[in-house]
Amino acid sequence: MLNRRSCGVLLHPTSLPGSGGIGTLGDDARRFIDLLAGMGISMWQVLPLTPPACGNSPYSAFSAFAGNPLLIDIDQIVREGDLADAACPGCFPEERVDYDAVAEFKSVALRRAAQAFFAAGRSARMEEFWHFCDTTAWLHDYALFMALKGRYKGKSWHKWPADAALSAPQMYEKASAELGAEIGIHKYLQWQFQRQWRSLRDYAAGHGVAVIGDLPIFVAYDSADVWRNRGLFLLDPAGKPTVVAGVPPDYFSKTGQLWGNPLYDWDALARQGYAWWIERLRHLFTQFDCVRIDHFRGFEAAWQVPSGEHTAVNGHWVKGPGARFFEAVAAALGPLPIIAEDLGVITPEVEGLREQCGYPGMKILQFAFDSGPANPYLPHNHVRNCVVYTGTHDNDTTLGWYDKLAPERRRGVNAYIGAKGGDIVTDMLRTAFMSVANTAIVPFQDLLGLPGEARMNTPGTAFGNWEWRFSWGMVSRHLGESLAEMLERYGRRNR
């Protein structure tokens, strides 16, 4: 799917319209797919669908395998009979996600639905549920982890009593029995998420739209993954990280980005044949047609920062598993359609690893105009095996970016792309579609021509991110026609 000229749109499901305060996997998601298909767009790229743990970021999740319950469509639950109605408060803002309010409402409604489901007794749906439980290897660990978080008032697992924090076998069995009802609720939520997502993906496939997922290379410390697999991470005997992940000072931050994720013990993973990672990828490729690996360069070398540092400045590069990892993945799963996020500090070794794997890298047009003609993001330096973006979820919208440029920078952009600055968004879209790159992906905000207020995330900031939503009123009646013509002109229209 990445070896022919095509076009995709980047939009996280939380940004979809809807009455419940957050986008879901329901009717508006299907209407969005209809819109893409009608324009001749063949790909929908999403951010991680996992349950956010810190700051509502999909890149910091309680599990690398579980789905985000906030994305569950309440209307479908009602139609199945697990909930009497989908009534929700009318105070949710339409233009942004109020995560606290949405979580409070949906947690109550979904818990009621789970309790009604279990009270109804044996049925075909109950058999389906138990089959899901019996065949989903990660499910019980995750559900027990979330039940224990509830018992201990949401505290991070390292602050639990020692036997629970260290997942002692006797505690594991005892807690599984004591918290059975709560565990069942979390399993129900995952069952509903997985079946709703599968239905939505089937709908997309039926309309010729492939779905691109996102795999963050690192996982959150306060996650079921670290809690149950401490031996696969660089932790001390008490379970605390000795080093944490980040990136050195770069375009986004003068002090780097201190992500705080625990780092992998790649030697321990290698001794197990990278089994945990292989299962993670296997799971993702049951959900998506293609996967973007975030921070691909971490497989060649990762920026390790000693625990306790307040910035990422005092880190250093430590080698990762390199090609051995991807050889093990290919041996287990075969060739996989993967996009390598190769942004940031990229060395010849990182480029060599990506090329050895055959994965397309990313070319961001907003990064193309801050140096001379050798800038690799300029379209005349693109290659076919790459993916061109106007911007990503970490960038400003194209209009917001352009408005913030100094006058001389604007003149340089206009001169390169042959624009007069009257409609910079359309000019940048045309530039992306003209690229020799096989795949072009644009944030939906850029298709709508929105200013910087519609930005999804500002790296290095803790608040106000991941909240943006669009409304159908923002979508011009002529958008589909004009975009379809442009895609046809540059050989990217899906038929």
117-138 pLDDT, tens digit per residue, is: 999 988 999 999 999 999 999 9
Q: Which two tokens stand for residue 337?
A: 């359609």
pLDDT (0 to 100) of residue 384 = 98
Q: Catalytic annotation on 214?
A: no
Predicted confidence (pLDDT) per residue in 374-385, tens digit: 999 999 999 999
With respect to residue 494, please indicate whether it lies within any of the assigned structural domains.
no
Percent of the chain with pLDDT over 90: 89
Tell me: pLDDT of 219 over 90.
yes
Residues 247-271, mean pLDDT to the nearest whole number: 90
**Backbone angles phi and psi of 63, in degrees to 5:** -160, 140
- Examine the residue annotation and report whether 453 is marked as an active-site residue of this protein: no
pLDDT at 89: 66
Q: Is residue 270 part of a domain?
A: yes
Half-sphere exposure of residue 405: CA atoms within 13 angstroms, side-chain side: 22
Mean pLDDT of 354-380: 96
Catalytic residue from among 141, 214, 341, 396: 341
User: What sign does the CA torsion over 342, 348, 323, 272 have?
Assistant: negative
Q: Residue 421: pLDDT above 80? A: no
Q: Which of 102-116, 241-255, 280-294 has the weakest average pLDDT?
A: 241-255
Average pLDDT over the chain, rounded to whole?
Answer: 95
Higher-confidence residue of 380 and 254: namely: 380
Within-domain flag for 320: yes
Answer yes or no: are the C-beta atoms of 51 and 138 closer than 8 Å: no
- Looking up residue 147, the CATH number of its domain turns out to be 3.20.20.80
Q: Residue 352 above 70 pLDDT?
A: yes
358 belongs to a structural domain = yes
141 catalytically annotated: no
Structural domain count of the chain? 1
Kindly write down the DSSP assignment for every residue of 259-314, as one continuous string.
EEEEPB-HHHHHHTTTHHHHHHHHHHHHH-SEEEEETGGGGTEEEEEETT-SSSTT
The residue type found at 66 is A
Q: Yes or no: say if 283 and 194 are a contact pair by the CB < 8 Å rule.
A: no
Domain range enclosing 455: 6-489
The answer on pLDDT for 454 being more than 80 is yes
Question: Mean of the pLDDT values across residues 166-187?
Answer: 96
- The contacts of residue 13 (CB under 8 Å, 6+ apart) are 23, 24, 25, 29, 46, 49, 71
Helix, strand or coil for residue 195? helix
Catalytic residue among 73, 294, 342, 467, which?
Answer: 294
pLDDT of 461: 84
Q: Which of 394, 396, 446, 467 is catalytic?
A: 394
In a domain, 1, yes or no: no
How far apart CA 452 and CA 472 sit, in angstroms, is: 19
